[in-house]
Amino acid sequence: MPSVAGPRRAVRGAVSGMPREFWWLWTSTLVNRLGAFVATFMALYLTLDRGYSASYAGLVASLHGLGGVISSLAGGVMADRLGRRPTMLIAQVSTALSVAVLGFMENPVAIAGVAFVVGMASNASRPAVQAMMADIVAPKDRVRAFSLNYWAINLGFAVSSTGAGFIAEYSYRIGFLVEAALTLCCAAVVFLKVPESRPEHAPGASAPGHSTAKPAGVRLIDVLRDGRFMGVVGLSFLVALITQQGYVGLPVAMGADGLTSSDFGTAIAVNGLLIVVLQIPLTRFIEQRDPRQLLIVSTLFAGYGFGLTAFAGSVAAYALTVCVWTLGEIVNAPTQSGLVVKLSPAHGRGRYQGVYSMSWSVAALVAPLMSGVVIDQWGASWLWMTCALLGTVTALGYWLLMRNLSEDERPGERVVESGERVVLVEATAAEAPQAPVRAPEFAPERS
């Protein structure tokens, strides 16, 4: 049937041509997200099962998020120094152990402390995963790889949320143990099937008459001084601040309209459903379009999708606004990840990915405060207008930031300041087989 053949071709085109190592990494991500119990039900566990106040539950959630902020940077440094594979294994085993311990904690101080450790451990592997995908996937396929990975994250989360709900009705502790077990399974997949991908060093071209030398490594301060990349990080923070409102501002606004928690569950379920259904078929469309246009349009969809929420009053209307900002999310996430790789030198991908991941972790901390203050002081409509304004500002930021970005700029053609030298980070043959290698200009060494 023609109506079926088209989507089938789109799906086949989206998943074909990826290396075997990518699919094992993809499998480990899916298994990991299938066990996402703590992030989903921590608040309910603390308030309903343990009897703590909502304020205490919020404190624990903040500590969990703070751990993620810290480990974003630490995980990026580890991915470059120790390697992608060791970082993932350390993070995943640590996550499994700390989640299991958390399920048996009784003292409120101990619960808060272990939750902080869980936040650190569970977030530490993200920069390594992103860096490894950039290492093993050809440049032309990277946006597609990030799109497939994002689909796995959301599919796993959708399944785990449903399963965790049934588990929670029987025993929250079993939920913690199930997450720990699945995280160990994820570590086992990485240990058995995923090889190390970190470049030993970025090959350095030598000046005439000089021997080739290993260039100095990228330091964290070098990443923070990379103006254009930090611009992307700032814009990523604004995008995350907008999309987080679907989980912190939206339920409050729907409650103020007299809708129930099940109504919110129905509306927000549209987000996961659309991602699962549309992410893979839309991958080819995303891959073949100008990333500058995609980032601008997707940000406007996100901002104005939440802006339309100011006019919603029923479950159907709220679900329609979720459709709008979800389309922006589907396009923005893999496109932005591809841009981060494009702006990252091969031997510094871990640190670059760590700083990028931090923008989302910080947004997860700021978004609840933002929604609470705005709604309490001025009302939910002002929150949604703020989201529309942020979407407009972010779209303008992408336009300004990327107007001078060459279509064929590759990581190997970036100049990175490191120490007292300015070195050209060359792409490997696998990354840019046809890219000409420009002779680097070395700054004079100081005595």
Each residue's pLDDT tens digit in the chain (447 positions)? 445 555 566 566 667 778 899 999 999 999 988 877 777 677 778 877 888 887 788 788 888 888 988 998 899 999 988 999 999 999 999 999 999 999 999 899 999 999 999 989 988 999 999 999 989 998 888 888 888 888 888 888 778 777 776 777 788 888 899 899 999 999 999 999 999 988 875 443 344 444 444 445 678 888 888 888 999 999 999 999 999 888 888 888 888 888 887 788 788 888 888 998 888 888 878 877 888 899 999 999 999 999 999 999 889 999 999 999 999 999 999 999 888 988 888 888 889 999 999 998 898 888 888 888 888 888 889 999 999 999 999 999 999 988 766 544 443 434 333 333 333 343 433 344 333 333 333 233 333
Cα-flanking dihedrals φ and ψ of residue 124, to 5°? -70, -25
- Tell me which amino acid residue 417 is: E
CA of residue 361 relative to chain centroid, distance: 9
113 is written with which tokens?
């402390």
pLDDT for the residue 189: 94
Alpha-carbon gap, residue 440 to 216, rounded angstroms:
14
pLDDT for the residue 4: 54
CA quadruple 355, 359, 365, 366: dihedral sign: positive
Taking residue 23's Cβ as centre, other Cβ atoms within 10 Å add up to 13
pLDDT for the residue 9: 61
Residue pair 92/125 in contact by the 8 Å Cβ criterion: yes
pLDDT for the residue 216: 53
pLDDT for the residue 406: 54
List own/partner pairs for 244-247 with CB under 8 A and 24 or more apart: 244/363, 244/364, 244/367, 244/368, 245/306, 245/367, 245/370, 245/371, 245/383, 245/387, 246/271, 246/306, 246/322, 246/325
User: Of 397, 414, 429, 247, whose CA–CA distance to 322 is shortest?
Assistant: 247
User: Of 341, 214, 324, 212, whose CA–CA distance to 270 is shortest?
Assistant: 324
Domains and CATH numbers, the chain: 21-193 (1.20.1250.20), 215-414 (1.20.1250.20)
pLDDT for the residue 157: 78
For residue 422, give the H/E element and its range.
strand 421-425
400 CB-near residues (< 8 Å, 6+ apart): none
Alpha-helical (H) ranges within 137-288 are: 142-170, 172-193, 220-225, 227-243, 245-248, 250-256, 261-278, 283-287
297 is written with which tokens?
């349009």
pLDDT for the residue 168: 74
187 is written with which tokens?
């570590």
pLDDT for the residue 446: 37
Taking residue 224's Cβ as centre, other Cβ atoms within 10 Å add up to 13
pLDDT for the residue 7: 56
Alpha-helical (H) ranges within 35-103 are: 38-44, 54-81, 84-102
pLDDT for the residue 214: 47
pLDDT for the residue 50: 83
DSSP 107: S
- Report the predicted TM-score, pTM, of the whole model to 2 decimal places: 0.78
Residue pair 123/199 in contact by the 8 Å Cβ criterion: no
pLDDT for the residue 104: 92
pLDDT for the residue 324: 96
Helices 380-402 and 349-378: crossing angle, nearest 10°? Answer: 150
Residue pair 310/282 in contact by the 8 Å Cβ criterion: no
Residue pair 335/295 in contact by the 8 Å Cβ criterion: yes
User: Of 186, 216, 192, 233, whose CA–CA distance to 80 is shortest?
Assistant: 216
Greatest alpha-carbon span in the chain: 77
Residue pair 197/135 in contact by the 8 Å Cβ criterion: yes
Alpha-carbon gap, residue 28 to 31, rounded angstroms:
5
Three-state DSSP state, 414: strand
